[in-house]
Amino acid sequence: MMNTLMNALVAAAVAMTGPGGGLSADLQRIVDAKGATAALARVSDGGRTWTGTAGVRDLDRGGRPAPNGHFRIGSVTKTFVATVLLQLVDEGEVGLDDPIERHLPGLVPGGAEISVRELLNHTSRLYDYMSEPGYSTNRWRGAERFRSYQPRELLKVAFAKKLPDDGKWHYSNTNYVVLGLLIEKLTGRPYGEEVSRRILRPLGLRHTLVPGDRPGLPAPHAKGYEPLPDLVDATRMNPSLDWAAGEMISTTADLDRFMGALLGGKLISAESLRAMRTTVETGAGFGYGLGLQAYALPCGTVWGHSGELIGYLTFAFRADSGRSLTLSINPSTRNPSTAEVMGLAVEVFCPKG
C-alpha cells in the first residue's frame, strides 16, 4: 500500500501559518521529486515566524504532517552536548586544552595527547565506531535496531581500529561518546540529566528529550522510512547506539529557541561562544567549531548543525542577524541533495530584491 500512496505525495498540500514565501513551493518540489515523504520547516526573523509542512504523516494512513511534530535530531545532539561542556569550562571544572587523560584516565588510547577541544571539533583522530558494519543508525539494522548499547561498549569498537595518518579532518561520533562520559565524570550525573537541567528546563524546551532506550517518538510525529528497496517503516528504534553523539528528539520550535539562546550568548560566556565559533577546515562543505557548523552562503555565513538518523534528517541554521531556518526532512526513496537543502537556506537567508 505504501507504493500506491506514494503517488499521493505529489498532491499533498503544503500547510503554512504566518508570512509565507517561495519556501513552501521548494518543500513541495522535494517531496514531488521523491526526496522526502514529509518535511517540516520553521523560519524566524525577529518577531515573525513562518511554519510549513509538505508530504504526508503516514504513507499507509495519510494525513498532513503537524508543524509542531517531533523528530529525531541525530547529530544536532552534539550541539547540546558541546554547550554543556562549555558551561563546565565556564565554571572552571575543565579546560578546553586539558588532555582527556586528566579527567578520564585510562579510557582513551593516547588520551594524554588528545585535548577536550580536539574531541569537540573532531580533530582527535579517534576512529568512528559507526564506520563498522552494523553500528550505524543511518542504516537499516533489522531486529538489531531495538538492541540496547552501553557507551563503553561503543568505545571498545572504536578503539579496536585507528584512522589512517592522512592529514585530513575526520568526523567521528566516538568523540561525543567520550564527551558524554566526561560530562558524567565532572558532574556525577547522567549526561542527559545535565542537558535537561542546564538547557531544556531553563529554556522551556518541553518537546525536546533524551530518550535513552525508549524506541518511540512522542505524538505528533511523521513516520520515518528506509528504502529496501520498497519503503519500510523505520520510525521505532532504540537510539542508544547514538547516545551523546545523536540520540535526542525535538521539534522545529524547540531547536529554533535553543539555537537562538546559544548563539545569542544566553547559555555560555562570550569567550566560550567565540571558541565555539572558531572553526577548522573540513573539506566537507562547512567549517566545524566546537559542536557547531559554519555554512558559507552567497550572502554570508550561517551557523548551526545538521543531523541524520535513519528516517530523519535535521538542519538547524541561524544567521548573526537572528534569522533562522529549522528543517526536518523524512527521506523517501532518496535523500534530498545538498543542492536542494542549501537551496532552501539560500531562499531564506539570501532573498532576491
Task: Enter the DSSP assignment of 12.
Answer: P
Residue 144 neighbours by CB distance under 10 Å: 12
Dihedral pair phi/psi, residue 226, rounded to 5°: -135, 130
Confidence of residue 86 (pLDDT cuts 50, 70, 90): very high
What is the average pLDDT across 111-135?
98
Q: 325 and 317 in contact (C-beta within 8 Å)?
A: yes
pLDDT score of 181 more than 80: yes
Instruction: Give me the percent of the chain exceeding a pLDDT of 90.
Output: 91
Dmax (CA) of the chain: 58
Q: Which residues contact 7 (CB under 8 A, 6 or more apart)?
A: none
pLDDT in tens, 255-278: 999 999 999 999 999 999 999 999
pLDDT in tens, 231-257: 999 999 999 999 999 999 999 999 999
Active site residue 75: yes
Task: Enter the DSSP assignment of 85.
Answer: H
Instruction: Give me the percent of the chain exceeding a pLDDT of 70.
Output: 94
What confidence score (pLDDT) does residue 232 get? 97
Helices (H) and strands (E) in the chain, counts: 12, 13
pLDDT in tens, 299-313: 999 999 999 999 999
C-alpha cell, 22: 517561495
pLDDT score of 75 more than 70: yes
Of 204 and 5, which is predicted with more confidence? 204
**Cis upstream peptide for 151 (omega within 30°):** no
Q: Supply the mean pLDDT for the chain.
A: 93
Q: 317 and 326 in contact (C-beta within 8 Å)?
A: yes
What confidence score (pLDDT) does residue 62 get? 96
pLDDT in tens, 28-53: 999 999 999 999 999 999 889 999 99
Confidence of residue 16 (pLDDT cuts 50, 70, 90): very low
Task: Say how far apart CA 182 and CA 111 lie, in whole Å.
Answer: 13
List C-alpha distances in Å: 185 to 38, 248, 326: 40, 21, 33
- Contacts of 7-14 with C-beta under 8 Å, sequence gap 24+, read 8/56, 8/62, 9/34, 9/37, 9/55, 9/56, 9/332, 12/54, 12/55, 12/56, 12/64, 13/64, 14/52, 14/53, 14/54
List C-alpha distances in Å: 182 to 12, 77, 88, 191: 46, 16, 10, 9
pLDDT score of 15 more than 80: no
Q: What is the CATH number of the domain that holds 213?
A: 3.40.710.10
pLDDT score of 13 more than 70: no
Q: How far is CA 210 from the centre of its chain?
A: 13
Say how many residues make up the chain. Answer: 353
pLDDT score of 149 more than 60: yes
What confidence score (pLDDT) does residue 66 get? 97
What is the average pLDDT across 132-146?
95
Q: Give the structural domain span for 170.
A: 2-349
List C-alpha distances in Å: 266 to 48, 259, 262, 270: 21, 10, 6, 9
Residue 157 neighbours by CB distance under 10 Å: 18
Of 130 and 5, which is predicted with more confidence? 130
Residue tagged active-site, from 24, 75, 136, 272: 75
pLDDT in tens, 57-67: 999 999 999 99
- What single letter denotes the amino acid at residue 111? G
Number of domains in the chain: 1
What is the average pLDDT across 204-213?
98
Task: Say how far apart CA 261 and CA 25 lie, in whole Å.
Answer: 30
